[in-house]
Amino acid sequence: MEFLDLPPMLGARGRVRLPGSKSISNRSLLLAALAEGETDIRDLLASDDVERMLDALRALGVQWEREGDTDNYRVRGVGGPFPVKSADLFLGNAGTAFRPLTAALALSGGEYMLSGVARMHERPIGDLVDALRQAGADIEYTGNEGYPPLHIRPAAIRPGGVLKVRGDVSSQFLTALLMALPLTGVETSIEVVGELISKPYIAITLDLMARFGVVVEREGWQRFTVPGGVRYRSPGTLFVEGDASSASYFLAAGAIGGGPVRVEGVGRNSIQGDVRFADALAQLGASIELGDNWIEASAPEGGRLKAFDLDLNHIPDAAMTLAVAAVFADGPCVLRNIASWRVKETDRIAAMATELRKVGAEVEEGADYLKVVPPQSLRPAAIDTYDDHRVAMCFSLVSLGGCRVRINDPKCVNKTFPTYFQVFGEVAAPVPVVAIDGPSASGKGTVGARVAEALGWHHLDSGSLYRIVALAALRAGVDLGDEERVAAIAAALPARFEQERVWLEGEDVTDVIRSETCSSGASKVAVLPAVRAALLDRQRDYRAGPGLVAEGRDMGSVVFADASVKIFLTASVEARAERRYKQLIDKGLPANMESLMQDLRERDARDAARAVAPLQKLPDAALLDTTSMDAEQAVAFVLDRVRERGLAGR
């Protein structure tokens, strides 16, 4: 499975230009296709869902063209029902294409097959089909009753009168009927049965229909009348607003990560209901500013979001972002009236509950609500995304809690925001890492510890970790060949490194781990794959604000490949042997220069010949040859590289 590892983030600030709204993009395309005249659509969203709509329209006889590599399209409307009367359409998992096209095709007098991915065939459409059948449409389920795929046949439509449709499952059913009914040419009313959810999305539909010349009469949110004798007419040029749902991730990033983060493309004049996500953040204590075409969010004065209990029926998509924001709140949070999550790209209530538990939250899941109790501290986790773009995007925010997170199947964001992780990386600042690698006895430990002390950063002496694992296992009475139990010890190793000393559970073990017993034990546990895997994650967990100096093998090539500064610290064999000789003599141990030099040459050869991550200077590492340097000069060299990158004092 493909995955993306996000490192712990220090915070978030900057500006984001939003991609176009999916809801507006697909509605605009369909209305432009059914209208008289040509429509220039500007800033259309580039995504999988929109591609499915474009492909379907072309198959149905609608001509459109893209202006070069831009997001601007010209659509030549057909001025009524689709001219192609037979087509087999695959619509992926695009609900904003599948539902409206179902209604428009049912009223176009042709024979059509509509299908999608497996998940689309699990998303209910029965309420829309029932409403269309009231008008005389001939629609057959070719799989499970009430669900796609669909077979639409020519039928004698009975225009006019009143159609009834449920409003408590998906607002897309009402949207589909509203956009298709002008094709009949006869005044028709729609009565909503039950509560209408996601009303702001219906407001988008009505606004866009009016721009194309069809004004719907509305009696509250229960009855809608589409006038007779009207046809869609092109408005000429139509600009697609930025996606307000996508704005939620960056606004939340500003509220969680300090900010300010400004999103451009939506503002106080937006027709999208999800801009009210900003109001919800304000209730959590975030600082919010709005302009005509932008919204900006910063963290609360106290730094921590307030606990909340909110009805989120009006912003169902953006509400998912609040579910993750809840883990940063100062108490239990409740998200209510979110039953529509069950019939989205996945069962989002179940999915969010499962993944929130992985990062340490306590979650109570109901038919239409979630209760989230934030953890004392976040846990690193691999997040499954269920082929759901919004799950992937909102869980990226966990990294702002100083916690690494893995996003499985990150390409699912292509549905609405293909460049999401790139853009997120432009506003979120990773915890900086200085990675110091090099051959044995080159002075990595001394230089790393002193650089960390000078910066006030954390320090990782990776070379000592296997020795500490052996020591901890021996003290716990665990056989060093018991891979599972030794790996469990390695994964939760309570070790820290301060001022050139090594500590295990508060005990200074600097000298203890250099014993022959620990050295021998380190060799035994180092060959266990589960231990090596556990220590890889454990080493990455040392990455915490304000920064980390990590020294040892493979630091810049494997463990922290994204390190801000990489140093390859080396010295001649003679210089290294002399330093090792002095260390041994100072400890009262016997030493022989020739033997030390021979040992170092052999170890260098083995390290350079390793099949995995052989020891070598990386192209992006700075070479630091300390043969003629003392420790202070070497430390100054590294600190200069850190300052050049603007990392000191972050």
Q: How buried is residue 348: exposed, middle or buried, by Cβ count under 10 Å (0-12/13-18/19+)?
A: buried
- Identify the helix (H) or strand (E) that includes residue 598: helix 593-608
38-42, strands of its sheet edge to edge: 63-66, 73-76, 38-42, 237-239
Pairing outcome for strands 86-90 and 111-115: parallel
Q: How far apart are CA 316 and CA 274, in angstroms?
A: 8
Active site (annotated) includes residue 317 = yes
Q: Which of 274, 317, 388, 461 is catalytic?
A: 317
Separation of CA 68 from chain center = 30
SS3 76: strand
Residue type (1 letter), 645: R
Partnered with residue 40 across adjacent β-strands are 74, 237
With CA atoms as reference, report the closest residue to 639 among 498, 452, 460, 437.
452
List strand residue ranges (DSSP E) for 258-360, in order: 258-264, 287-290, 294-298, 309-311, 333-336
The 3-state secondary structure of 446-488, one letter per residue: HHHHHHHHHHCCEEEEHHHHHHHHHHHHHHCCCCCCCHHHHHH
Q: Do the beta carbons of residue 233 and residue 31 sit within 8 Å?
A: no
Question: Could you say which DSSP state residue 648 is in?
Answer: T
Buried b (16+ CB within 10 A) or exposed e, 406-430: bbbbbbbbbbbbbebbebbeebbbb
Compute and round to an integer the Cα radius of gyration of the chain.
31
- The two tokens of residue 62 are 């609608």
- CB-based contacts of 172, cutoff 8 Å, min separation 6: 95, 96, 99, 100, 128, 201
- For residue 478, how many other CB atoms are within 10 A of its CB? 18
Q: How far apart are CA 497 and CA 467, in angstroms?
A: 13
Q: Do the beta carbons of residue 164 and residue 189 sit within 8 Å?
A: no
With CA atoms as reference, report the closest residue to 403 among 360, 350, 446.
360
Residue that is written with structure tokens 């294409």 in the block: 97
Which residues have a catalytic role annotated? 317
